[in-house]
């Protein structure tokens, strides 16, 4: 069990630290006082105070973290400004989060998710620069009889150019793009004897196992691939190309994740693949055994997910803050305390429901249900 737990804790500590540091960086930049920088919740294991009076600490429950601003009992609220003005002297008022201009508060809040996207870009940049990226074109070697691919008209020696309007730059992209598709039909663009052909394939949903032995539902179309001309094209990229493909990967994963969540909300997606901390712990342990590069890749993908989820307009998340600030911008004043509290209750219900559902999937995955 420890070989699952230790990599999971390392992964979560890094991703959460980077997220919270994003908030901290912009808070310090705009002169907001920070009283606590905590990784984890609950009782403090150890910590220290820096010169500016911030308490940096590690706590027992490693499933998140927080940055606490000076004088704030509720970072969403500006409705008690008059109270604050009486309570603090002029020097202290400069450090109060709620008295900062709207754009500064928005940047402080958005800093966490932004830092997660930057971490993912840095990880991919490192991999593409020092390990390299695959650019081997994908050619179909075999089409299984009566498979979705054969029914749709895919043939041996077809070179796959695009899947769902996304260019296939590598043989490795094919499985990824088929897996991440959410619609009933997958659009293929292939090159056949110098002619480009468009085909629609309806995949089979199959209960199978991934490379690490975890049970998954997989979209299968029934093809076997080989490198085009049997040549592997694996390149280490220069800084500009590495940065371009790193940003592109973060964008692709973000859009694909949003499409997947959208498909679940509207009933067409497979919600059984939605996992929580138990599944992340299990997979991060397995991936860590495979090697450092797969583990770093997983860290990047988890970082993107954390950044993305935190931007959802749900109270208690960073996106909830930004939603309130949008209302404040439009109305010219903050929402009332009562309205905000109503939103918080809805947000809490949504987050607890999602956590319950993801944990239920995890336990089902472990065979406990």
- Residues that are catalytic: 20
Q: What gap in Å lies between CA 41 and CA 360, rounded to an integer?
A: 22
Residues 161 and 194: beta-carbon distance below 8 Å: no
CA 97 to chain centre: 27
Contacts of residue 107, Cβ cutoff 8 Å, sequence gap at least 6: 26, 30
Q: What gap in Å lies between CA 295 and CA 123, rounded to an integer?
A: 10
Contacts of residue 183, Cβ cutoff 8 Å, sequence gap at least 6: 164, 263, 268
Nearest CA-CA partner of 109 in 351, 326, 262: 326
Query: DSSP of 207-255, one letter per residue?
Result: EEE-TTS-EEEEEE--EEEEEGGG---EEPPPHHHHHHHHHHHHHHHHH
Nearest CA-CA partner of 96 in 33, 19, 182: 33
Q: Give the pairing type, strands 133-134 and 234-235.
A: antiparallel
Q: Which helix (H) or strand (E) holds 263?
A: helix 239-265
The helix/strand/coil state of 291 is coil
Q: Which helix (H) or strand (E) holds 292?
A: helix 292-310
Tokens for 141, please give them: 């070697």
Residues 304 and 114: beta-carbon distance below 8 Å: no
Contacts of residue 98, Cβ cutoff 8 Å, sequence gap at least 6: 71, 72, 75, 77, 78, 81, 84, 105
């Amino acid at each position: 069990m420890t070989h699952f737990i230790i990599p999971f804790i390392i992964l979560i500590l890094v991703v959460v630290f980077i997220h919270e540091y994003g908030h901290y960086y912009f808070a310090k930049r705009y002169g907001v006082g920070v009283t606590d920088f905590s990784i984890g919740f609950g009782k403090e294991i150890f910590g220290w105070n820096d010169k500016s009076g911030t308490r940096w600490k590690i706590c027992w429950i490693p499933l998140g973290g927080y940055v606490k601003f000076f004088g704030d009992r509720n970072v969403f609220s500006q409705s008690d400004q008059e109270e604050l003005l009486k309570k603090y002297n002029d020097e202290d008022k400069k450090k109060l989060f709620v008295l900062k201009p709207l754009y500064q508060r928005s940047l402080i809040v958005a800093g966490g998710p932004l830092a997660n996207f930057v971490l993912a870009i840095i990880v991919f940049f490192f991999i593409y620069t020092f390990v390299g990226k695959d650019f081997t074109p994908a050619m179909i070697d075999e089409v299984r009889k009566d498979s979705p691919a054969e029914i749709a008209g895919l043939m041996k020696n077809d070179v796959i150019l695009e899947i769902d309007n996304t260019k296939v730059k590598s043989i490795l992209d094919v499985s990824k793009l088929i897996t991440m598709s959410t619609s009933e039909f997958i659009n293929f663009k292939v090159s056949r004897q110098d002619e480009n052909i468009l085909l629609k394939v309806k995949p089979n949903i199959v209960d199978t196992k991934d490379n690490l032995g975890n049970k998954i539902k997989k979209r299968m179309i029934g093809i076997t691939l080989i490198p085009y001309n049997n040549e592997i094209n694996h390149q280490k990229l220069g800084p500009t190309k590495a940065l371009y493909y790193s940003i592109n990967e973060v964008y692709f994963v973000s859009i694909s994740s949003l499409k997947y969540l959208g498909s679940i909300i509207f009933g067409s997606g497979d919600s059984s693949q939605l996992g929580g901390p138990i599944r992340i712990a299990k997979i991060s342990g397995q991936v860590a055994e495979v090697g450092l590069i797969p583990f770093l890749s997983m860290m990047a993908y988890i970082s993107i997910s954390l950044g993305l989820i935190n931007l959802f307009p749900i109270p208690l998340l960073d996106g909830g803050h930004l939603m309130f600030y949008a209302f404040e911008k439009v109305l010219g004043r903050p929402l009332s305390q009562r309205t905000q509290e109503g939103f918080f209750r809805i947000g809490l219900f949504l987050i607890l429901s999602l956590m319950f559902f993801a944990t239920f999937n995890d336990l089902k995955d472990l065979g406990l249900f």
